[in-house]
Amino acid sequence: MQHPIILITGATAGFGKACAEKFARGGYDLILTGRRAERLTELQAALENDHGVRVLPLPFDVRDPGACSEAVASIPQEWQRISILVNNAGLAAGLAPIDQGALDDWETMIDTNVKGLLYMTRLVIPFLKQQPSSQIINMGSTAAKDVYPNGNVYCATKHAVGALSEAMRIDLLPYGIRVTAVHPGAAETEFSQVRFKGDEQRAAKVYEGFTPLSAEDVADAVYFCATRPAHVSINDLVITCTAQANALFTFKGPSEEK
């Protein structure tokens, strides 16, 4: 019996890695992309050993359209039965007022969060069209719903993910391809470390006083969306920790855990 195949971008850490582990436990073969080849190789070995699935690592940067095309073109015939694409690769870079933002940070976020998602979606859609009940899952953010101070360009990129998800859902309707946008709130991953350029102390303060989501919490939600019956599509899912109402309001006090 052939395992279903899922392609996950940005699989070397955070939500992407947690999704890879979750779908491997569910019996999926995985095509995993990321910029850090060593991490992909380590994850491949762990998933194949622990879950008996096959893993195809593709190390490249989704910001590079040529690298995206080359990587997808290299997928062997037996791996082309892709039924799910998870566009997870994304990041925040910097946190500054619009008049003080670093241009390099803006370019990095736009190229990764928007253009990289577009490159991979266009390249993988031909494979999805060949599979019944195929699906695209785009990783958004509560920043796609609410704009917060100093979040300007990052929030704009995640609003774009939301809009593109709606557009994909319309354009791909004739092919029966479901499109889901998953919008996590505060989650303790490498996200803040990346945003603050490796400043671990500043990153840790983001999650002080409340219990944030884990990457595994978000992976559980993604897996749920991907395993609904063929006639069911969860179009838009916002998931936050209990202490967070939205991107703007988080109650920071004594931990709610007993």
**Single-letter amino acid, residue 66:** G
> Counting every residue, how long is the chain?
258
For residue 166, give both structure tokens: 């709606």
DSSP designation for 7: E
**Is residue 154 flagged as an active site residue?**
yes
27: left (phi over 0), alpha (psi -120 to 50) or beta: left
**Catalytic residue from among 28, 148, 154, 207:** 154
According to DSSP, the residues that pair with 59 across neighbouring strands are 34
Strands 135-139 and 82-87: parallel
In a 13 Å sphere around the CA of 251, the CA atoms on its Cβ side amount to 8
Return the closest-CA partner of residue 41 out of 55, 27, 51. Answer: 55
Q: Are 248 and 146 in contact (CB under 8 A)?
A: yes
For residue 133, give both structure tokens: 């009940």
**Residues identified as active-site:** 154
